[in-house]
Structure 1
Amino acid sequence: MKIILATASPYRKRAFAALGIPFTAEGSGVEEDFEGRPGNPEELVLVLAKKKAEAVAKNHREGIVIGFDSVGLFEGAVLEKPESEEELFERLKDLSGKSHEFITGVHMINVSSGRFLSKAVKTKAFFRVLKDEEIKKYISEDPDYGTFAVGYDPWNHISSSFAERIEGSYHNLISGVPLEAIVEMLYEMGFRLTKN
């Protein structure tokens, strides 16, 4: 059974590739801002992951399509992707020495049967106290910061040292692909890692 990821994200593709399961990937084209968008962060990521998976599933007759969406939460507020270096600097100053949550919605569809599964996975990251110099170095080295839900890349650059401790899925935090949950969901959908 083939696997299709409903994403254009190189980070998500790289993370899923670690499983050693063959897959293809395609962007969904789903707009993340829409009328009736849920205010509850967990509901929001589940709705968007479902929309993305359904959009890609329409292009296929078989296989399992997996959609994702992620948001960051800090002190109860959703962290939108930062739009400027100044906004990112202030964001990272706020997160310094504190914790934030990263929530990913995963929606899986078996295209031929129509069966689906959804799950929201939460990871809590605890930042050490950051120096202004570190924040400035990160901002100057990573032109892609605006692609990350919280605003920093936890895998590369100096920012990979920002979180001193996490609770939950490491893979969720670094890539928005909670591999542990995904493997369990694949088994529940009838997918097997081997042909025997």
Structure 2
Amino acid sequence: MALILASASPRRRELLRQIGVSFDVRAADIDETPQPGESPADYVCRMAREKAAAVASGASGECAVLAADTTVVIDGDVLGKPRDALDGLAMLARLSGRTHEVMTAICLCRGEESSERLVVTRVTFATLDRDLCEAYLATGEPWDKAGAYGIQGLGAVLVDAIEGSYSNVVGLPLAETWRLLSEHRIPTGLGGSGE
């Protein structure tokens, strides 16, 4: 069973390779606008489902499609990718000295079947001053990342603690992804039977 990753994220590609998965990449092009009144958990699950479905609709029936969506949530609000420096600065100031949640939904489509998982990690930021926030934004690292930071890069210095899956914060919860692939008998570096 061939696997397609419905994501252009270099971090997700790297994480999948880390667990020995062979795959092709086809990024999904969908509208990522939240619906009115939609909870953050419902939003990321819907995004993962829609990405998987969009790519699966153009794929051979012999392929499985894995999609994921990650967002940062604080006070019930979804923080997407920063639009500009002021937006990034506002996000970092809001996260400073506080605990937020990183939610990733993963969805695997195989033929008419689909399975999904939602993983939540709690991340606590150090108290950040404006100079540090501006210096971090000037590196260019935050621009393509939800919440304006990347824990796997320079953004690691902003984080005091995490509770839960580290790889989830990077963009793909590996333990849950491995189990999902194994349940569907998709080979990984540890086999594909889940047994």
Query: 2:147 is paired with a residue of what secondary structure?
Result: coil
Q: Residue 15 of structure 1 aligns with which residue? A: 15
1:117-136 equivalences under 5 Å are 117-136=115-134
* Of 142, 145, 148, the match for 1:151: 148
Unaligned runs of 5+ in 2: none
Q: Residue 135 of structure 2 aligns with which residue? A: 137
Are 1:181 and 2:179 an aligned pair? no
**Conserved in 2, the CA contact under 8 Å of 1:38 and 1:44?**
no
Q: Residue 32 of structure 2 aligns with which residue? A: 32
**Conserved in 1, the CA contact under 8 Å of 2:183 and 2:192?**
no
Change (3 A) 1:28 1:2: same
TM, length-normalised to structure 2? 0.90
Identity %, equivalent residues:
27
Could you tell me how far 1:136 is from its partner in structure 2? 1.4
CA distance in 1, matches of 2:58, 2:87: 38
For the aligned residues, what is the CA RMSD?
Answer: 1.8
Unaligned runs of 5+ in 1: none
TM, length-normalised to structure 1? 0.89
Stretches (4+) displaced over 3 A? 192-196
Could you tell me which amino acid in structure 1 is paired with residue 162 of structure 2? I
Change (3 A) 1:147 1:195: closer
1:36-185 equivalences under 5 Å are 36=35, 39-61=38-60, 62-111=62-111, 114-142=112-140, 144-157=141-154, 159-174=155-170, 176-185=171-180
Q: Deviations over 1:1-22 (max 9, x none)?
A: 2211001112221222211211
Query: 1:150 is paired with a residue of what secondary structure?
Result: helix
Could you tell me how far 1:37 is from its partner in structure 2? 5.9
Could you tell me which amino acid in structure 2 is paired with residue 47 of structure 1? R
Could you tell me which amino acid in structure 2 is paired with residue 50 of structure 1? R
Aligned residue pair count: 190
CA distance in 2, matches of 1:86, 1:38: 26
**Conserved in 1, the CA contact under 8 Å of 2:7 and 2:25?**
yes
The farther-off stretch of 165-174 and 183-192 is: 183-192
Q: Deviations over 1:72-111 (max 9, x none)?
A: 1112211132211112112212211111101111110113
CA distance in 2, matches of 1:127, 1:16: 27
Query: 1:27 is paired with a residue of what secondary structure?
Result: coil
**Conserved in 1, the CA contact under 8 Å of 2:28 and 2:55?**
yes
Query: 1:130 is paired with a residue of what secondary structure?
Result: coil
